[in-house]
Structure 1
Amino acid sequence: MLLSMHDDIISKAFQASHGRAFLFSHVMNVVSSIKQDRHLMTGLHNVADVHCSDCGEITLS
């Protein structure tokens, strides 16, 4: 399932506790959790976990 168009990826330079994290300008086919402040390796960011809108699988941020 398509998450985003390549041009919607703003940055791949983020590092979360479970691995890489991405910054998108637009995503589709996902349901997001409540946004919260998290300390990533790159500093404090307001982030949300996303879940597949079809199967519910969690993609860690």
Structure 2
Amino acid sequence: MFAENKLTEDMTEIEAFLLRERDKVLSESEWRFRMRGYGYNLRRTDRGVEVARLPQNTVLGTLAI
């Protein structure tokens, strides 16, 4: 998906993008809403935040936060 205006599948780049965007918002729900606009579905699990690509909802990885 897109991170920093370029198409990428590299989870390291995606993680950096997601965490920078998380710093810009006030709540986790606002962050999840914004990321859906970029094509990412974020879901809280017991291991962290699962990152999936929309619209297929294909899991890319997990953020340990």
Q: TM-score range by the shorter chain?
A: 0.3 to 0.5
Q: Which has the higher helix share?
A: 2
Q: Which has the higher strand share?
A: 1
TM-score (norm 2): 0.40
Structure number with higher relative contact order (C-alpha < 8 Å, ≥ 6 residues apart) = 1
